[in-house]
Structure 1
C-alpha cells in the first residue's frame, strides 16, 4: 500500500489538523512484499527488498532487505 497523504497533529481540540502529502520514490529493481505499507515522503533505493507486512516510515538505502514495524535494514545485498 502506497500512502502519500497524512495530516499534521493538531492541538488538544483537534488532533487531525491540516492534511499534507509527499511523494514516494521507488528505485529500479525493488521488490515490495505483500501488504507492505510505504508512508509519505519515503524513498526506496535501487535493488531493495521490502518484506511482507513491513511499514516503511524512513528512506531505505540501496541493496538492502528491510522488514518489521517500523521497517529496519536486516541485511545487505551485493550490487552489480
Structure 2
C-alpha cells in the first residue's frame, strides 16, 4: 500500500454515506462494508467498516491504497 489507512472513530463521523455490502456476503453479518464519502474532509476516500459493528470505527483508504490491498489478496 502507498499509505497507511486513517481511522474514523465512529461511523457517525461519516454522515450521509451509503454503506454497501459485498454480494458474496451471507446473512450472518460477518463481512465488511464500504462507502465512498462525497463531501467533507473524507471525500474521495474509501471507508471500510465491520458489518457487525455499524456504529463503530471505520478505516479510510485512498483509492490507490485500497486497490493495492485488494490486489495483494489474490
Shorter-normalised TM-score: what interval?
under 0.3
Instruction: Provide TM-score, normalisation by structure 1.
Output: 0.25
Structure with the largest fraction of helix = 2
Specify which structure has the bigger relative contact order, considering alpha-carbon pairs within 8 angstroms and separated by 6 or more residues.
2
Instruction: Provide TM-score, normalisation by structure 2.
Output: 0.26
Bigger-Rg structure (1/2):
1
